[in-house]
Amino acid sequence: MGWVEQPHTLPAYRRRGLAAAGLAALRRDNPGYAWHTLGGHIDGSPAFWDTVGADVPGGYRPRRVCEHVTAGG
């Protein structure tokens, strides 16, 4: 499992493909990993996550938090 916590791009650099390139590089350099985030940011940027997840099996979608990453799990 790979983890990206709170991905963020400064406003002056948004909409230039930097975050998408970073996520693509992580997937390319670490094949076979399942990538997760926990920041709750997917709801705020659905078009971005749809675009960067277009070639990702299962895409990027909010899912239930796994018991292995919850406190006490």
- For residue 59, pLDDT beyond 50: yes
How far lies 23's CA from each of 5, 54, 55, in Å? 12, 12, 12
How far lies 20's CA from each of 16, 29, 61, 72, 73, in Å? 9, 14, 15, 33, 31
- Please state the pTM of the whole predicted model: 0.62
Is 72 within a domain? no
Q: Domain span at residue 46?
A: 2-7+16-26+33-65
The count of structural domains within the chain is: 1
The mean per-residue pLDDT over the stretch 40-65 comes to 73
Is 58 within a domain? yes
Look at residue 25 in the predicted model and tell me its pLDDT.
Answer: 92
- pLDDT tens per residue across span 1-19: 787 777 788 999 988 988 8
- pLDDT tens per residue across span 9-47: 899 998 898 888 888 898 899 988 877 766 666 666 778
How far lies 31's CA from each of 6, 24, 35, 44, in Å? 21, 11, 10, 27
